[in-house]
Amino acid sequence: MPQAIVRHIERWVGTLSTDGRLHEMAITPRQRGATRAKRHHAPARAKFLDRIERFFAGQDVLGGPLLLATIAALVFTNSPMREIYEGFWDTPLHIGFGRSSVSHSLAEWIDHALLPLFFIIIGADVKRELVRGALSHLRTAALPVAGALGGMLVPVFLFWLIARDSDAIKGWGTVITMDTAFGLALIGLFATRLPDAVRALFLAFAAIDDIGGLLVIAGAYSDTIHIDGLLIAAFAFAIIYMLRRLRWGAHIPYVLLALVLWVGILRSGIHTTIAGVLLGFLVPVYPRLARKEFAANVQGEIDEFQHAHRLAAEETRTHDADRSEKKAEEGLGYLHEMTGATHSAGERVITLLAPWVSYVVLPAFALSNVRVHISSDLIDTMFSSALAPAIMIGLCLGKPLGFLSFSWLATRLGLADLPDKVRWSMIAAIGSIAGIGFTISLFISGLAFSDDRLQETASLAILAASALAGITGYVALRFAARGSVEEGQPRQVR
């Protein structure tokens, strides 16, 4: 019987995927059965829901709520409620302590206080790829590194060619990064027809892309740097790192120190998204307790729990029975804590933050930052200025061209190999969906342009490029998935 309990706990721990996330954690058996029944008597509806489910349900940051919020923002900013709507997001919010105070609009507070939560996930994802994922070994890391470098350099070069003699050149950073949420959602539509390595490659590409985008934000779009703020942030960072080395388990010190680090970065003049990345890099990606060690450590505790539970059930309501019941409860608490230790802190943080980022942070960012007043004048400006063509060509052409050409060159030089079952059509599809700039591109455009007209032009161009890249990426993924199904076992191409 004790061995059966150990096996049951190990099976529970085994529901963790290779990156430590729980599958179907929010779906009960009854709900799963109801879903199967709906497939039987409402196949068209079930097929439609299956198509959009990846945009609204899952363990990753999701693209569906962000898309709906963007549409809502476009509707409000082009409606009679425009002044009330934008005035709400421009409402100043003051935070003070003693004689010191900070004042920003609601939209700016979303950028400074909420958006770093998204970058904590990015930082943790990048660290996971570097330590445990596709970037942890030289040969496996070479392909996404080469492709991501091409996916950054080629778009920037094309942007520079088009916009080098105009004020639009300030927005070169808008074509650096891709949107991970929308990309994962599109890949998820074909998850059963594509090799798992396609998603892993996309995450690795996105990780390098995000690093490039963060370096651009820190180096090119940050104002005057205040050393005292950097010292505060460095102090908090060092204390968090020391507590990690000491394996300090309590959460409150980490939360308080994270706030100190955020305040230091805010004071320094560097954008606070960098604080999110630093915190993401500090989160451990390995569990505190390996599964083998877990199985060995809990056996004796399970024996004691069974003994105490049996005594509590057999004895009458006496003092001994109460003591046995407390002993059994103590054993359950120990098993619960030990089971939790098999889940890495990084995965717990991502699991905790992902729903908030998907349904609150990113939609709030879109609602407060997407201010495109669509008019004939703005459309004329798009076609007459260098900014819109530079962004659209950089994202829609530069991204796929850079990804594909640099990846191909790396394989031809013998620096990298395509993963098993991955074909060049799949690499081209990843490059196509990488043209969806959106979240960080919109964010960088807000940092790059103080002129409202330029920012509106950049935002509209980013939206148009992201829509075009999304359609192109969907078609490319569909083609790649069809080829994968027809071939059965795709041939490795080099």
pLDDT score at 145: 86
Whole-angstrom distance, CA of residue 338 vs CA of residue 13: 11
**Residue for token pair 């609204």:** 56
**CA 230: distance to chain centroid?**
26
Any residues with CB less than 8 A from the CB of 424 and at least 6 apart, and which? 404, 408, 418, 493
pLDDT score at 252: 87
> Among candidates 123, 139, 188, which has minimal Cα distance to 494?
139
Whole-angstrom distance, CA of residue 435 vs CA of residue 475: 14
pLDDT score at 28: 52
Q: Which residues pair with 95 in a beta bridge?
A: 102
SS3 content of the chain, % helix, strand, coil (to 5): 75, 5, 25
Q: Which two tokens stand for residue 194?
A: 């594509």
- The one-character DSSP state at 188 is H
Q: Which two tokens stand for residue 365?
A: 């960012």
From residue 458, alpha-carbon distances to 294, 372, 411, 462 in Å are: 53, 9, 35, 6
Whole-angstrom distance, CA of residue 289 vs CA of residue 94: 44
Q: What is the residue-wise DSSP string for 165-183? A: TSGGGGGGGGGS---HHHH
Whole-angstrom distance, CA of residue 208 vs CA of residue 133: 13
**Residue for token pair 């070479």:** 142
**CA 147: distance to chain centroid?**
19
Residue ranges per domain, the chain? 62-222+271-287+353-487, 227-263, 291-340
> Among candidates 385, 494, 409, which has minimal Cα distance to 151?
409
Any residues with CB less than 8 A from the CB of 175 and at least 6 apart, and which? 155, 156, 158, 159, 390, 391, 394, 395, 398, 399, 437, 441
Any residues with CB less than 8 A from the CB of 145 and at least 6 apart, and which? 135, 208
Alpha helices of 315-437 — where are they, by DSSP H? Answer: 319-340, 345-356, 362-369, 376-384, 387-393, 399-412, 424-433
Whole-angstrom distance, CA of residue 325 vs CA of residue 309: 6
> Among candidates 76, 48, 68, which has minimal Cα distance to 181?
68
Given CATH 1.20.1530.10, say whether it is the number of domain 62-222+271-287+353-487.
yes
Whole-angstrom distance, CA of residue 122 vs CA of residue 280: 7
CA dihedral 437, 415, 18, 258 (to 10 degrees): -50
**What is the mean pLDDT, run by run of 10 residues, along the chain of 494 residues?**
46 41 45 62 58 62 82 90 90 81 85 87 78 71 87 94 88 87 78 77 80 79 80 93 83 89 86 84 78 70 68 60 68 72 75 87 88 81 85 93 92 84 88 86 85 86 91 90 60 40
Q: Is 420 helix (H, G, I), strand (E, B) or coil?
A: coil
Q: Which residues pair with 152 in a beta bridge?
A: none
Element (H, E) at 248: none
Q: Is 222 helix (H, G, I), strand (E, B) or coil?
A: coil
